[in-house]
Amino acid sequence: MYPASSITDAQWSVLEPLLPAPGNTRGRGGRPEAHPRRLVLDAIFYLVRGGIAWAALPHDFPPHQTVYGLFTRWARQGAWQQIHDALRDLVRVHEGRDPLPTAAIIDSQSVRGADTVPGRSRGYDAGKKINGRKRHIAVATGGLLLAVVVTIAGVQDRDAGHRLLT
C-alpha cells in the first residue's frame, strides 16, 4: 500500500510468529480481531516512519484507536522487546556471528528536558550543564542495540552502567 512502510511477504513470515497470540485464542474469550495484523503493523510502521500523530493515520489503515490499542497492548506484553531481540539475533546469525555478543560498547547522552517534563523525572548533569534526562545505551560491536536505560541527567554514568548491564 505504502512502499516505505509496507511489510513484504518475507518480512511478514519472520514477524508473524513473534507477535502475541490474539486475546480470543488464549481461552479467555473475547471478540476476534477485526483487522488483519499485517495491516496493523503496516500502520504502526507508517506512523513511525512518517513521525505523524496517531489521529493523522490515513483511512487506508484500520482506525487509529484500534492501531494504538494493539500497539500499547503489545508493548505491555513485551512484544516489541522480543521482536527487537529476535531480529537482532537473526541479523547477527546472517552475518555469521553468534547470536549472543561477547562484547558491548556503553555510552550515554544527556538531553535537555522540555518545560512539559515533570521535575521528578529530570535532573541536572553538572558536567554538561544540562537539566533533563540521560539515556544510557549498550550496543554490540557491530552497532546493534542491546539495552537502553533512561534516567534523570544527574545519575552518574558508572551507576547507570550497573542498571544497564542488569
pLDDT digits (tens, 9 = 90+) for 43-100: 999 999 989 999 999 999 999 999 999 999 999 999 999 999 999 999 999 999 999 9
Same domain, 62 and 120: no
Is there a domain that residue 159 lies in? yes
How confident is the model over 3-8, as a mean pLDDT? 78
Is there a domain that residue 51 lies in? yes
Same domain, 21 and 60: yes
Tally DSSP H helices, then E strands, for the chain: 5, 4
DSSP 30: -
How confident is the model over 106-114, as a mean pLDDT? 91
Is there a domain that residue 3 lies in? no
Same domain, 75 and 119: no
Please give the grid coordinates belonging to residue 12.
511478514
Q: In this prediction, what percent of the chain has a pLDDT beyond 70?
A: 93
d(CA 50, CA 136): 26
In terms of residue numbers, what domain contains 112? Answer: 104-165
Same domain, 79 and 136: no
The contacts of residue 120 (CB under 8 Å, 6+ apart) are none
Same domain, 88 and 18: yes
Same domain, 37 and 110: no
Total number of domains constituting the chain:
2
Taking the model in full, what pTM does it have? Answer: 0.78
Same domain, 44 and 110: no
